[in-house]
Amino acid sequence: MRHLMSPLDFTTGELDKLFDLANDMEKHMERYAHICEGKKLATCFYEPSTRTRLSFEAAMLNLGGQVIGFSDAASSSASKGESVSDTIRVISCYADICAMRHPKEGAPMVAAQRSSIPVINAGDGGHQHPTQTLTDLLTIRSLQGRLSGLTIGLCGDLKFGRTVHSLIHALSRYDDIHFIFISPEELRIPDYITDMLKAKGIPYEEVIRLEERIPSLDLLYMTRVQRERFFNEEDYVRLKDFYILDMAKLSLAREDMLVLHPLPRVNEISVEVDDDPRAVYFKQAQYGVYVRMALICTLLGLA
């Protein structure tokens, strides 16, 4: 029995299979509409995350399965002091597969150790959010046609951004990748990531301004620069506009560049960009459903 704890749990070969399946589901939804009939997904969300939970639930419903679960710790037995280990042993009696989000890092791994059904980590604190990374990879592969030979710009909060760190690790397994990190000094990519890239011989650049390198990108992954991350208000005010993508900045980019964002977006991408064909962040949310469908089928041994 397999679980999904980290995006690196699958080899690149296994990911190719998963993404092929997701693409086939995208094209032939009707073929998969009953594949999970009689199966139940438990969404155990110890902290609210409407987007991720609904994406999992939509995925299971698309496959003809059913969904049970809870959407915050207050409505679960955790409020009575039940451990994760005990909860998952009970959930294992009720459902066939479980997606778990928990504010404590490593909680889904504890669940996986005690579970008799596959457990998917649906986000554990600031640690991992593997289905977001799989979503990002599927979006890139589907819309750019490949995961190798890409120049990828990551923009915004690169210091604390969990999705960014996971994506870099996941992409660093492919050939001929070139990263361009675009962030203010305060929110630079951590050393342990750049050390990993150096060790693997993967080229990267660090720049302050988005305009500098946007013309060379195949892909721009935007994240939010949050006010509370700055030491003082002046720096925030001085720098925040550097990291807002608007049409003026996008006009410098290539016609085939893609703009991705894990969402929710606040103001880091102007709404005027939304109608540009390069803005694919809402398609990305759709790919999130396909990849979760493929994942559920794969972990249930139905694919």
Partner 1 sequence: MLNVGQIEEGFVLDHIRAGMSLSIYHHLQLGKLDCTVAIIKNARSNKMGRKDILKVECDINTLNLDIIGFIDHTITVNVIKDGKIVEKRRLSLPKEIKNVIKCKNPRCITSIEQGLPHIFVLADPQKEIYRCKYCEEKYRENHNYNLF
Alpha helices by DSSP H, 172-280: 191-200, 210-213, 233-239, 247-250
- Minimum CB–partner distance for residue 108 and partner 1 (Å): 9
DSSP-based three-state secondary structure for 68: strand
- Minimum CB–partner distance for residue 192 and partner 1 (Å): 8
As to burial, measured by CB atoms within 10 angstroms (0-12 exposed, 13-18 middle, 19+ buried), residue 37 is exposed
Give the residue among 82, 77, 84 at the shortest CA–CA distance from 98: 84
Closer of 104 and 227 to partner 1 (Cβ): 104
Closer of 114 and 209 to partner 1 (Cβ): 114
The site for partner 1 (CB under 8 A) is made up of 83-85, 102-107, 109-110, 124-127
Residue 52 bears catalytic tag: yes
- Minimum CB–partner distance for residue 178 and partner 1 (Å): 25
Closer of 119 and 279 to partner 1 (Cβ): 119
- Minimum CB–partner distance for residue 41 and partner 1 (Å): 22
- Catalytic position from the list 52, 131, 135, 139: 52
- Minimum CB–partner distance for residue 127 and partner 1 (Å): 6
Closer of 161 and 184 to partner 1 (Cβ): 161
State residue 297 phi and psi, 5-degree precision. -60, -45
Give the residue among 153, 151, 227 at the shortest CA–CA distance from 183: 153
Residue 51 bears catalytic tag: yes
- Catalytic position from the list 39, 40, 53, 101: 101
State residue 42 phi and psi, 5-degree precision. -100, 120
Closer of 64 and 125 to partner 1 (Cβ): 125
Closer of 169 and 240 to partner 1 (Cβ): 169
Residue 129 bears catalytic tag: yes
Could you tell me the strand order of the sheet in which 177-182 lies? 204-207, 177-182, 150-155, 219-222, 258-260
Report strand pairing: 258-260 vs 66-70: unpaired
- Catalytic position from the list 51, 173, 229, 283: 51
- Catalytic position from the list 39, 40, 127, 129: 129
H/E stretch holding 112 reads: helix 107-114
Distance separating alpha carbons of residues 233 and 171, to the nearest angstrom: 34
- Minimum CB–partner distance for residue 105 and partner 1 (Å): 4
Which residue, chain included where needed, has tokens 């120049």? 151
Largest CA distance in the chain: 57
Alpha helices by DSSP H, 30-99: 50-62, 84-94
The catalytic residues are 51-52, 80, 101, 129
